[in-house]
Amino acid sequence: MTDNTCQRCGACCRLIALSTIHMPPAYKRYLLNHGLKEDLGFILIPHECQHLIEVPVPGDYNAIPAMEFACDIHESPDRPQVCRKFHGQKRIGPWNVYVPPGCAFNKKE
Number of domain units in the chain: 1
Q: Hey, which bits of the chain come out as E strands?
A: 15-19, 37-39, 42-46, 52-56, 67-71, 91-92, 95-96
**pLDDT at residue 108, as a whole number:** 61
Helix (H, G, I), strand (E, B) or coil at 61: coil
Residue pLDDT, tens place only, 88-102: 788 888 888 898 887
Instruction: Give a yes or no: residue 6 inside a domain.
Output: no
Instruction: Give a yes or no: residue 4 inside a domain.
Output: no
pLDDT exceeds cutoff 80 at 109:
no
Distance CA(40)–CA(99), nearest Å, equals 9
Instruction: Give a yes or no: residue 101 inside a domain.
Output: no
Distance CA(11)–CA(101), nearest Å, equals 9
Q: Domain range for residue 33?
A: 11-96
Distance CA(52)–CA(95), nearest Å, equals 23
